[in-house]
Structure 1
Amino acid sequence: MGVTADLNMRKGIKVVLNPPQEFFDDFQEWISETERWNYRHAEYKLWSIAFEKFWLYMAIDEETEDVISVVSLALQRDSEGKKLYSLGNYYCVPEWRGKGISNKLFVQVMKHVGNENCTLFGAVEMSALYAKRFNFSLMNEFWHNFADIDVPNLVIPVIPNGFTCKKIEDKDWEKLHEYDETICDLDRRKYMRTNLSLAGTVSRLVINETGKIVGFGAVKMAFAGELIMAPLYAESLDAATALMSSILKAVPNISSFNSLITIYPDANNDVPRLLSILSSNNFHSHKAFRHQFTKEMMYFPQHKIFGTDEVSHSPC
């Protein structure tokens, strides 16, 4: 475990770059309890191997070896090779807040960004601060909502006529990547294949009557008994319904989970309709996050996004 420069931290605090898994697990315990941010166990490994570059900075109490604060940064490129940095996992345990530790980690990762474009999902209460202090001032007009369905209220719908869902096989990846490139102009073939194949994931693609891919998606079996609909991309409400029907049927021991969540752009009016189908209109949602960029906005076809991939390092 490599200890970085002290970053002017107070005595007794060390800053570690890309620490071992057990420190990420400690972090997961904290963010699950206080923020309800839940990941698959292998999420850290995914970020480490699937992005062009990845940094996870942790401030750690030297005496107890407890995690105090975290921030991460990933580097991706668009189809023309232009860099896009993404910042995520910005967190401090409650008892250490207000002491400037997290701010120093944030400043450190922004040194890697330099003058390049960077994006993050700003939480409602933090959005204005990110814009003012760190120049994440380019924002979508709409927000992303957090939606929650209790598993006992889940309804697995009938697949609408005209659609077929299937597991993703080796022969399907090229067409899936081509479809994904209509959603997101980032070179994320390695990331998406690893992501959809990761342990604790049920993924499917949906095909229409002509044999054309019209969507794909996954449900992630995450920490604290959470099922996460991420990503879910589809051409229509019926295609999204077909995907969720097929995916939910394949989730093992689904009744052992507590809830199904998704984070989605409120610009897509079909998402509440899908959630209503999946829950007999028994779901909860609230405004949660907003895209924020430093240099240049990236635009995505929001009407196709029923569930964002995740809010740490995926802009769509």
Structure 2
Amino acid sequence: MELVVNPPQQVFDQLIHWAAVTHGWGHMPYDYQFYAKGFDGYWFICMVDPSKDDSTNFVAGGSLARCTDGNGNPLYSIGLFYCQEEYRGQGYGKPVFKAMMDIVGEDNCVLMAAPDMSQKYADIFGFKEMPVYCHNKLIIVPSKMDFAEKISDEYITKNWTEVDPDQLNVYDKSVCFMDRKNRMQLWFSQHQVYTKVAFDSKQNIMGYCTIRVVNLNRLVVDPFYAENPEVAVQLLTDVCKMIPDFETFELLLFRFPAINEGIEVMISQLCPIGSFTIRVANRTQFTRKLLESRDEVVYSVACTTHGFV
């Protein structure tokens, strides 16, 4: 087997296909180029079988990105760490993770760990700084959602292209405490990505919601921020109505911090009993310093591969 960095697109496509089929992770092929363009640094590190071509050679791999935190310090993130089922238990993932951590060095790094892997990442790899709560996964069946004709007179929503990018960035920074302007503008512009921004009567931004189409005929909400449940209902309703043939998608997926109490109010207004499930999904873990965010307004995080808020 051979360790490679930033191999051809076909190798990345193998990873996201098998990760979706076996674990339900939602991605699209364009994510590879988005990570490379949207972050200050990006490394797709993987083990491949050199005896096979680029459409069948993936063995194990992971995605490492670097951005800047709110204090101007480097922040690395690890995601999409995955090994083909037939190669598990043979040590192929270890050199991948080591290569990523060698790049991270002494800087801060974050990942979203599966519950059964959380302690291992803390004990062995030093991802010990974490909030006291987990992130949950909300899974909704789109065809069973119930959208009201009239929701609120207090808020309006606009397409992201109608909103001043600087004003939207100020709001985004108020939630995540980082400057993600260029990255988020690029994110909104990807294929089959739908975004609306909510305003109150004084033209203050009250939240925004992005939903994108991912593999296996699913939709992922990332990100989704709202200052209160009423805004959340308005935003989610309006974005869902933007999506062609919305009711034909298999699932609508959210990843939200467990401390967000507004999510239950939103669900009660849009999702009849039997149309949704909630389960524990991940634990956000850092190596050096836990970075704060306004998680009480986060209804779904941005890009769970390289985002924690």
Q: Structure 1 length as normaliser, TM-score? A: 0.93
Name the residue aligned to 1:84.
Answer: 75
| Counterpart position of 2:100 | 109
Verify: 1:194 aligned to 2:186, yes or no.
Answer: yes
Matched, 1:300 2:293: yes
For residue 86 of structure 1, what is the amino acid of its counterpart? S
Q: Name structure 2 gaps, 5 residues minimum.
A: none
SS of the counterpart of 1:139?
A: coil
Percent pairwise identity:
27
Shift of 1:123: 0.7
What is the rounded CA distance, in whole Å, between the counterparts of 2:70 and 2:94 in structure 1? 32
Q: Deviations over 1:75-110 (max 9, x none)?
A: 111233111111111110111111111111101110
Tell me the equivalent position of 2:139: 148
Structure 2 match to 1:94: 85
The one-letter amino acid paired with 2:114 is A
Q: Please give the residue correspondences for 1:241-280 in structure 2 after superposition, counting only pairs within 5 Å.
A: 241-280=233-272
CA distance in 2, matches of 1:19, 1:252: 34
1:83-232 equivalence runs, <5 A: 83-157=74-148, 158-169=150-161, 171-232=163-224
CA distance in 1, matches of 2:162, 2:226: 21
Question: How far is 1:169 from its partner?
Answer: 2.1
2:306 alignment partner AA: H
Q: Deviations over 1:286-306 (max 9, x none)?
A: 011011011111011111100
Which residues of structure 1 form unaligned runs of 5+? 1-12
Partner in structure 1 of residue 34 of structure 2: 46
Contact 1:160 / 1:241 at 8 angstroms: preserved in 2? Answer: no
CA RMSD of superposed structures (Å): 1.2
* Alignment-mate amino acid for residue 28 of structure 1: I
The letter of the residue matching 1:145 is N
Q: Take 2:154 and 2:30, find their aligned partners in 1: how far apart are those partners?
A: 35
- State the Cα distance separating 1:21 from its structure 2 match: 1.7
Q: Identify the residue that residue 24 of structure 1 maps to in structure 2.
A: 12
Instruction: Give SS of 1:169's match.
Output: helix
CA distance in 1 between counterparts of 2:262 and 2:276 reads 14
CA distance in structure 2 between the aligned counterparts of 1:276 and 1:191, rounded to whole angstroms: 33
Q: CA deviation at 1:26?
A: 1.2
- Does the aligned pair in 1 maintain the 2:143–2:248 contact within 8 Å? no
User: C-alpha deviations, 1:158-181, integer Å up to 9, x for none?
Assistant: 432201001012652110000000
**Alpha-carbon distance in structure 1 between the residues aligned to 2:248 and 2:59:** 32
Q: CA offsets per residue over residues 181-239 of structure 1, 9 Å max, x none? A: 00112231111111111111010000011111111111111110111111000111111
Alpha-carbon distance in 2 for matches of 1:98, 1:129: 15
CA contact (8 A) 1:76 1:187 kept: no
Structure 1 range deviating more: 151-160 or 39-48? 151-160
How many aligned residue pairs are there? Answer: 304
How far 1:141 moved relative to its partner? 0.5
Do residues 315 (structure 1) and 303 (structure 2) align? no
| Aligned counterparts of 1:88 and 1:152: Cα–Cα separation in 2 | 30
The verdict on how the C-alpha distance between 1:127 and 1:42 changes in structure 2, with shifts beyond 3 A counting, is: same
Instruction: Name the TM-score, length of structure 2 as normaliser.
Output: 0.95
